[in-house]
Structure 1
Amino acid sequence: MPDSPTPEEREKADAELKAKEAAEQAALPYRWTQTIKDVDVTIPIDLKYKGRDLDVKLSKTGLRVAIKGQDPIIDGTLPHPIHVDESTWTLETIPSGKEISVHLDKVNQMEWWAHVITSAPKIDTSKIQPENSKLGDLDGETRTMVEKMMFDQRQKEMGKPTSDEQKKLDLLEQFKKQHPEMDFSNVKMG
């Protein structure tokens, strides 16, 4: 069995992966960002185009953005469904020209997207650090659940027990103390 990587090797591998990911994302004809609740896509286009020149279609599981008569800029299947009625697109004039802004409202507001469309390169969603202010925007119960999920994810990455596994271990320890006469050597946790 190979030795596990040193922190320096892991850091170097993470940096290389991050650089590769950044290069893949930079090569896309659009930029995108996300929160736990939504995805925003911006596509720079030439100043000469107007809204009527565009062909933009949003569906529950698909996205198409094109300039009429040209190959689509984005055309594919979304990795997860969206609320079509809550999703929008606009054409905006910016200092460097124009851009199409697409706002996608996630159906499952508890998951990160690895890409905008399934044919695009993926990002490593385990490296996403949610902004604390955004976590604070969640209601109490949802925030508790998200914090527990984040804690459990970090514990798994470090090879430590999740919060639920730790509860079981604590209960077993308590039970062992109450019953010193019993043999627990063959107990399997699962």
Structure 2
Amino acid sequence: MADRPPSPTPEERKKLDAEAKVKELEEQSKLPYKWTQQIGDLDLTAPIPGNMKGRDLDVKITKTTLKAGIKGQEPIIDGTLPHPIQPDESTWTLETLSSGGKELNIHLDKANKMEWWPHVVTSAPKIDTSKIQPENSKLSDLDGETRGMVEKMMYDQRQKEMGKPSSDEEKKMEMLKKFQAQHPEMDFSKATMG
């Protein structure tokens, strides 16, 4: 039997997480755009030369793809989205910055409002969606029921990644334990959770 490497200690885990975060930030900083997301939408910004106008840009947003750039030049972003969006609710604008430059802003409205994206297009480096903190996503803006559902999904996702039971499985196990305690005369050795 092969020896499994020991699980990292909390300190080692913290160090590995920090290293992964640095690598992730480096990869993201090399992209020709910046992006942020909430649980229901995603915003992307890219610097554009100040002499450009909206008509100089080539922006195409479909349900599953995004292409944006200056006409006649290599696109800033061009690829397949990891998940579908609502193209009619998604927009782009060209804004003039105080520095004199301009910025292309693209707002994508996610079709699934309960899904974190690991990247804007599938060809870009991924971020670790399990490390997304709900505070960053304005979880507090969601109504109680939706917020509870999102928090439960995030908890279940983290549990799954650690090989632990989801909240539903934990509840079932808890109920089974209570039932076993109330009925010590019954044999539960062959019971399976389904």
Residue 53 (structure 1) shift: 0.8
TM-score for the superposition, normalised by structure 1: 0.92
Residue 174 in structure 1 maps to residue 178 in structure 2: yes
Counterpart of 1:63?
A: 66
Q: Does the C-alpha gap of structure 1 residues 16 and 117 become closer, same or farther in structure 2, counting only changes over 3 Å?
A: same
Contact 2:93 2:106 in 1 (8 A): yes
Please point out which of 85, 109, 118 is paired with 2:113: 109
Distance 2:163 2:86 in 1: 37
Give the residue type in structure 1 aligned to 2:98: P
Q: How many residues align?
A: 190
Residue 135 in structure 1 maps to residue 139 in structure 2: yes
Residue 189 (structure 1) shift: 2.9
Distance 1:154 1:73 in 2: 33
Give the residue type in structure 1 aligned to 2:80: T
Q: How large is the Cα RMSD of the aligned pairs?
A: 1.8
Distance 1:85 1:112 in 2: 20
Counterpart of 1:76?
A: 79
Counterpart of 2:30?
A: 27
Residue 73 (structure 1) shift: 1.2
For 1:116-136, what per-residue CA distance to the aligned partner results, in whole angstroms no more than 9, with x for missing partners?
A: 111000000000002278223
Contact 2:39 2:137 in 1 (8 A): no
TM-score for the superposition, normalised by structure 2: 0.90
Contact 2:45 2:103 in 1 (8 A): yes
Structure 2 residue ranges without an equivalent (≥5): none
SS at match of 2:134: coil
Provide the identity percentage. 72
Please point out which of 161, 168, 171 is paired with 1:164: 168
Give the residue type in structure 2 aligned to 1:21: E
Residue 155 (structure 1) shift: 4.0
For 1:152-190, what per-residue CA distance to the aligned partner results, in whole angstroms no more than 9, with x for missing partners?
A: 334445655322112211221222123222222343334
Structure 1 residue ranges without an equivalent (≥5): none
Distance 1:68 1:51 in 2: 10
For 1:76-113, what per-residue CA distance to the aligned partner results, in whole angstroms no more than 9, with x for missing partners?
A: 11111111111110000113311100000000010001
